[in-house]
């Protein structure tokens, strides 16, 4: 359900589960993780493109996986996000349609994000009885400022590509259907850069925030696990599945 399209200096990863609006399962996170590892090891790879199939980015984590009990360590989602945050190869996201929950969270670990004008973002963690995860509690305010962060995370207010761009959360807005094309142009520009300078520079840009990010990952993971077991969350999941029937 993750399609990997190799290219000369760029690999494209497609989240491909259209029957569930590309909702992510543990198996899909593991596939993404492996694909990132391969890109990192390939010295000719100057860019990773991340996108979704069939007009959507991703509906976020498959909620049915939130209902099963969970161990103490990192979830496959978090293991993938740590990998994404640590990769030296620049990552470009191309967003069409809906990006929900972890589908928004992961954009914070990408270097370039292009979104179609009619794309819509939402972080409904609090209304599901949960909390921000994957670095959002630290990075969102750094990218979009604390005012947008409070609206998006505490109120769970959805936001458009235009609002995401104005606040600094994404790189640019494209016409509908052209986010992937725009991502490819940037990948081509990156392909002309000296690879070692590119990777070293990205590593330098991430260096200063690394420790604070690891601490955020950990603190969020622990509260998220606690929230998952809460009555507030389990009641919210039940309402979600009752509605879908």
- Does 142 engage in binding with its own copies (CB under 8 A)? yes
Nearer to its own copies, 84 or 190 (CB): 190
- Does 225 engage in binding with its own copies (CB under 8 A)? no
- Does 149 engage in binding with its own copies (CB under 8 A)? yes
- Does 10 engage in binding with its own copies (CB under 8 A)? no
- Does 201 engage in binding with its own copies (CB under 8 A)? yes
Nearer to its own copies, 180 or 233 (CB): 233
User: Residues 39, 170, 173, 179: which binds its own copies (CB under 8 A)?
Assistant: 170
User: Cα-atom radius of gyration of the chain, to the nearest Å?
Assistant: 17
User: Residues 8, 189, 238, 241: which binds its own copies (CB under 8 A)?
Assistant: 189
Q: Which stretch binds its own copies (CB under 8 A): 22-30, 32-40, 60-68, 210-218?
A: 210-218
> Which residues of this chain interact with its own copies, rule CB under 8 A?
90, 111-113, 125-132, 137-138, 141-143, 145-151, 153-156, 167-171, 186, 189-190, 192-194, 196-198, 200-202, 204-205, 207-208, 212, 215-216, 219-220, 223, 226-227, 230, 232-233, 236
């Amino acid at each position: 359900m993750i399609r990997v399209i190799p290219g000369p200096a760029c690999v494209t990863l497609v989240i491909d589960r259209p029957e569930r609006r590309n909702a992510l399962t543990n198996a899909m996170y593991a596939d993404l993780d492996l694909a990132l590892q391969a890109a990192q090891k390939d010295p000719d790879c100057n860019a990773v493109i991340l996108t979704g199939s069939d007009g959507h980015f991703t509906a976020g984590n498959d909620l049915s996986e939130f209902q099963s009990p969970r161990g103490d360590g990192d979830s496959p989602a978090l293991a993938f996000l740590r990998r994404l945050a640590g990769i030296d190869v620049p990552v470009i996201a191309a967003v069409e349609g809906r990006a929900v929950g972890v589908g928004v969270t992961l954009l914070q670990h990408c270097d370039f994000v292009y979104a179609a004008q009619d794309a819509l973002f939402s972080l409904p963690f609090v209304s599901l009885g949960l909390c921000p995860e994957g670095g959002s509690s630290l990075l969102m305010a750094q990218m979009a400022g604390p005012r947008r962060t409070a609206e998006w995370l505490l109120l769970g207010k959805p936001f458009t590509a235009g609002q995401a761009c104005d606040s600094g959360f994404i790189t640019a807005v494209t016409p509908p259907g052209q986010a992937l094309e725009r991502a490819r142009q940037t990948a081509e520009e990156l392909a002309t850069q000296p690879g070692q300078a590119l990777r070293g520079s990205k590593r330098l840009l991430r260096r200063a925030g690394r420790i604070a990010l690891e601490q955020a990952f950990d603190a969020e993971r622990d509260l998220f696990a606690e929230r998952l077991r809460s009555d507030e969350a389990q009641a919210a999941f039940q309402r979600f599945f009752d509605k879908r029937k």
